[in-house]
Amino acid sequence: MLARAIAKAPQSPQVWVLVTGVAYYQPSLTAEYDEDSPGGDFDFFSNLVTKWEAAARLPGDSTRQVVVRSGVVLGRGGGAIGHMLLPFRLGLGGPIGSGHQFFPWIHIRDLAGILAHALEASHVQGVLNGVAPASSTTNAEFARALGAALGRPALIPLPSTVVQAVFGRERAVMLLEGQKVVPRRTLAAGYQYSFPELAAALKEVIA
């Protein structure tokens, strides 16, 4: 709706930045995805992201357009970390399912930084992966890092059958499957991360 309204405006904006998600890429235990990798039409979430990006695309080339595909955002005061902290603080945390699935993440300060860079840097256009350089982390590795940041063990796995029962099969896919996503074009565009490594990002979030 907003994209259609902008397209009809008498004067086009100089830049248009859209945030979607790395669910565009197909979950895999082996594949690595950068901004040029194909995706977008193999399950509900990838199809949703594809339609979202298509609907928000402005016609013509008078506006510089950027799409930021975000990973799981780590920040204070809620979000993904907000749901994890209590069980981990109680020593009841651990990997979800097998723990082998990738967990592409980004600190909220870096997501905001990438958006600002996309708005301000006139050479930036097209797709940027909004993930940390060290986001090729598995769910089990993330669980261990969060446990270490809290000074708690992270040894109790959450079985996939429980996840599916609680969230339903469709939503459970987001937790039980993942993608190894790299920010090749984001780095090439000149963005410098504040939190490229997971340990430092978690330390700031839970401080």
CA distance 67 to 55: 12
Kindly state the tokens that stand for 184: 């090749």
* pLDDT for residue 168: 83
Task: Supply φ then ψ for residue 21, to 5 degrees.
Answer: -145, 160
CA distance 63 to 15: 5
* pLDDT for residue 181: 98
Which structural domains are found in the chain, ordered by start?
A: 11-206 (3.40.50.720)
179 neighbors 102 (Cβ within 8 angstroms)? yes
* pLDDT for residue 138: 97
User: Which among 181, 187, 186 has a CA at the least distance from the CA of 24?
Assistant: 181
CA-to-CA separations, 178 to 3, 9, 102, 187, in angstroms, rounded: 30, 39, 5, 22
Instruction: Give the predicted TM-score (pTM) of the model.
Output: 0.93
* pLDDT for residue 1: 65
147 neighbors 81 (Cβ within 8 angstroms)? no
Give me the residue label for tokens 């930045």: 17
DSSP 3-state assignment of 135?
coil
CA distance 95 to 84: 11
Q: pLDDT means per 10 residues in the chain (207 residues)? A: 74 94 96 95 91 93 96 88 90 95 97 99 98 93 97 94 84 89 98 98 94
